[in-house]
Amino acid sequence: GKVGEAVEFQNVLHVPDLCNNLLSPFHLTCHKGYKISIAGSSVQFFQDKVLHFSATVNDNNIGYLNGVTRILRPVMSNAASTCPLDVTLWHHRTCHRGISVVWDMHENQLVLNMKMHDT
């Protein structure tokens, strides 16, 4: 295919050891107005009838977005948040994991560059 416009995903927590980022198609359809078309191993993501990005499903039924990921430097990604870097923000960023789990992730340095202020 041809190279499309850059797509920016917001509210994403990058976990380098995971090796892949996770995307919720249900969040996109329920909260962002996307319509998803699936045919065979091809998945297309439309918003306002415009194709924004696509994915391909492999033989293990795992979908991978077609494209490349540009990772912001940690300083830039921290600056992009307008919320205080507290346990509540990380609770939301980690899909509402328990507060004790979030503190454990922080205290045991399980997430790189996880900055958090005590509140």
pLDDT reading at 17 higher than 80? no
Q: What is the pLDDT of residue 33?
A: 94
CB-based contacts of 14-22 (< 8 A; 24+ apart in sequence)? 14/71, 14/77, 15/111, 15/112, 16/112, 20/64, 21/69
pLDDT per residue over 48-66, tens digit each? Answer: 999 989 999 999 998 888 8
pTM equals 0.54
Query: Per residue, what are the HEC states of 25-71?
Result: HHHHHHHCCEEEEEECCEEEEEECCEEEEEEEECCCCCEEECCCCCC
Q: Which residue has the higher pLDDT, 45 or 102?
A: 45
pLDDT reading at 111 higher than 70? yes
Q: What is the pLDDT of residue 73?
A: 59
Question: Between β-strands 42-47 and 63-65, what pairing exists: parallel, antiparallel or unpaired?
Answer: unpaired
